[in-house]
């Protein structure tokens, strides 16, 4: 890296600053602590959470689907950015994560009418959701679980709405041509499908473990 060329994202110090910049509420801190012992990837960091809030605010989100609700940390950020009358639909296949999410929303004073928590996998739940009815669809689970559902996920997003998938970079391994494990193959497949879809305007944000964002155009 030359002296004139700063490291992407400001390097580790820049990433740490981005996380410090986005201050979590006490309820968010508690949500993070509540699910720390559960299996699976950790919840979103503050920089990713704040970005989700900004994206939700940008589309004036009234309805958002979150795939892989976890313990509700991303949900709290999303609700912060959504309209005050907005409804978050969050699904997860782990009842303990859903219980933790319910607790997190209650702690934060989120009205029950604003959060719909559904137990199930994308294969079970997505067919029950209305196509084109969502301002934003947020994926935060293993990419290999969601690659096959990408067309159904995109179908849920209204024109002008936004899709996000977190975990795309997999610690940078997505760029390593020798890496061919199922998670990386699925992440590359998601990236390819989104980039080649002419109805989408996509970008990869190198925050957290890589946030793929795409705006759906007419
Ligand atoms: C990284 S955590 C999500 C954290 C959450 N976005 C947050 O910030 O609080 C991933 C979640 O996806 C869920 N998950 C993984 N595979 C799933 C599947 N096939 N169906 C439903 N949920 C799944 C896990 O139970 C876990 O709660």
How many angstroms separate the CA atoms of 48 and 184, rounded?
A: 20
| Number of domains the chain is built from | 1
Mean pLDDT for all residues in the chain = 93
Question: Which of the residue ranges 62-66, 121-125, 199-203 would you say has the lowest mean pLDDT?
Answer: 121-125
Domain that holds residue 205: 8-216
Residue 154 lies in a domain: yes
Residue 3 lies in a domain: no
CB of 86 sitting under 6 A from ligand 1: no
33 alpha carbon – ligand 1 mean position (Å):
16
Instruction: For 185-194, write each residue's pLDDT tens digit.
Output: 999 999 999 9
Q: Which helix (H) or strand (E) holds 19?
A: helix 11-21
Residue 111, domain CATH: 3.40.50.150
Contact 120, 91 (CB under 8 A): yes
CB of 68 sitting under 6 A from ligand 1: yes
- Measured over the CA atoms of residue 102, residue 39, residue 80 and residue 123, the dihedral's sign is negative
112 Cβ contact partners less than 8 Å away, ≥ 6 residues apart: none
Instruction: For 151-178, write each residue's pLDDT tens digit.
Output: 999 999 999 999 999 999 988 899 898 9
Give catalytic residue positions: 166
Residue 1 has pLDDT above 60, yes or no: no
Instruction: For 131-157, write each residue's pLDDT tens digit.
Output: 999 999 999 987 788 888 999 999 999
**Per-residue pLDDT, 3:** 63
Instruction: For 10-51, write each residue's pLDDT tens digit.
Output: 888 999 999 999 999 999 999 999 987 887 778 999 999 999
The answer to pTM > 0.80 is: yes
Residue 134 lies in a domain: yes
- Which residue from 76, 93, 95, 143 has its CB within 8 A of the most atoms of ligand 1, so it is best to mutate? 93
- Measured over the CA atoms of residue 203, residue 195, residue 214 and residue 122, the dihedral's sign is negative
Q: Please give the backbone phi and psi of residue 199, each rounded to the nearest 5 degrees, phi first.
A: -85, 0
205 Cβ contact partners less than 8 Å away, ≥ 6 residues apart: 51, 211, 212, 213
User: What DSSP string describes 131-188?
Assistant: TT-EEEEEE-S-HHHHGGGHHHHHHHEEEEEEEEEE--SGGGGGG-TT--SHHHHHHH
Please report the atom of ligand 1 found closest to the CA of residue 146. 19
**Is the model more confident about 80 or about 144?**
80
Residue 194 lies in a domain: yes
70 alpha carbon – ligand 1 mean position (Å):
5
Residue 1 lies in a domain: no
DSSP state of 40: S
CB of 40 sitting under 6 A from ligand 1: yes
Q: Between β-strands 115-119 and 63-67, what pairing exists: parallel, antiparallel or unpaired? A: unpaired
How many angstroms separate the CA atoms of 135 and 65, rounded?
A: 8
Tell me the percentage of the chain whose pLDDT exceeds 90. Answer: 82
Residue 2 lies in a domain: no
Task: Give the confidence band of 66 by pLDDT, cuts at 50, 70, 90.
Answer: very high
Measured by CA distance, the residue closest to atom 16 of ligand 1 is 141
ipTM above 0.95, yes or no: yes
- Which residue from 107, 141, 145 has its CB within 8 A of the most atoms of ligand 1, so it is best to mutate? 141
Contact 50, 77 (CB under 8 A): yes
Nearest to 75 by CA among 11, 138, 120: 138
């Amino acid at each position: 890296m030359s002296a004139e060329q700063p490291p992407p994202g400001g390097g580790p110090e820049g990433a740490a600053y981005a996380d410090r910049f986005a201050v979590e509420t006490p309820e968010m801190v508690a949500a993070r602590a509540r699910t720390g012992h559960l299996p699976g990837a950790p919840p979103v960091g503050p920089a990713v959470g704040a970005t989700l809030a900004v994206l939700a605010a940008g589309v004036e989100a009234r309805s958002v689907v979150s795939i892989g609700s976890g313990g509700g940390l991303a949900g709290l950020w999303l609700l912060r950015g959504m309209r005050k009358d907005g409804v978050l639909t969050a699904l997860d296949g782990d009842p303990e994560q859903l219980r933790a999410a319910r607790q997190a929303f209650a702690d934060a004073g989120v009205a029950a009418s604003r959060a719909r928590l559904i137990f199930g996998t994308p294969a079970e739940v997505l067919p029950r959701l209305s196509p084109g009815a969502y301002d934003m669809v947020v994926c935060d689970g293993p990419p290999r679980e969601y690659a096959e559902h990408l067309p159904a996920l995109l179908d849920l997003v209204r024109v002008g709405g936004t899709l996000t998938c977190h975990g795309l970079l997999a610690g940078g391994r997505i760029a390593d041509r020798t890496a061919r494990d199922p998670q990386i193959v699925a992440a590359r497949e998601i990236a390819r499908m989104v980039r080649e879809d002419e109805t989408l305007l996509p970008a990869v944000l190198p925050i957290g473990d890589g946030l793929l964002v795409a705006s759906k155009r007419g």
